Amino acid sequence: MTFKFLHVSDTHLARDYPKAGGYLRTQAYNHAFNQVIDAAIRHKVDFIIHTGDLFSSNRPFPRAVQYVTRRWERLHQHKIPLILIRGNHDGSYIGLGAFSGTACDYVTSTFDPPQEIVDLSTNLPDYPILIDPSLYERYPTRGLAVKAVRFGNDLEIRGCGYGEYMQLIIFVSMY
């Protein structure tokens, strides 16, 4: 089976610095993100994978969260899943392994009961999905993230965002 997907990274939504051109920068980033959503719908992709730094900070402005939510609703109408992997600007682990929360928490699905792997061939969650094995391992009962996303027996995506080792790794395996 073949898959058509769109890969995007480092959108840094809600980035409003430097202050001198902050508003224009925010508008430019939002426009670029809108073009990504439009392209995904126009080309009828199977999914979008965003590999880090959806927002520019782990505490995004409410209007930025609303902006992403409205874009997600458009994708959801077209049955296009949005898969997120956490980047260093989205939030990370802080000293002594304490978790400070991520910007992705504002827009992603919470699975109840928690799921290690989500199969998108049978289930389209109501919100974007966060793949973060480190978060899943630290808080396995909270359902905040999954270890992998699967499309039946054809494709599996695993990723670990920025964390203890400060690297981004994505594993894609075809069966």
Active site (catalytic) residues: 89
| 101 torsion bin: left (phi>0), alpha (psi -120 to 50), beta (else) | left
* Residue 125 identity (one-letter amino acid): P
What gap in Å lies between CA 35 and CA 14, rounded to an integer?
16
What gap in Å lies between CA 160 and CA 85, rounded to an integer?
7
How many degrees, rounded to 5, is the angle at CA 55 between CA 48 and CA 32? 60
Quick count: other Cβ atoms within 10 Å of Cβ 138? Answer: 16
What gap in Å lies between CA 51 and CA 170, rounded to an integer?
8
Residues 6+ apart with CB under 8 A from 96: none
Is 71 within 8 Å of 30 (Cβ atoms)? no
What gap in Å lies between CA 82 and CA 108, rounded to an integer?
9
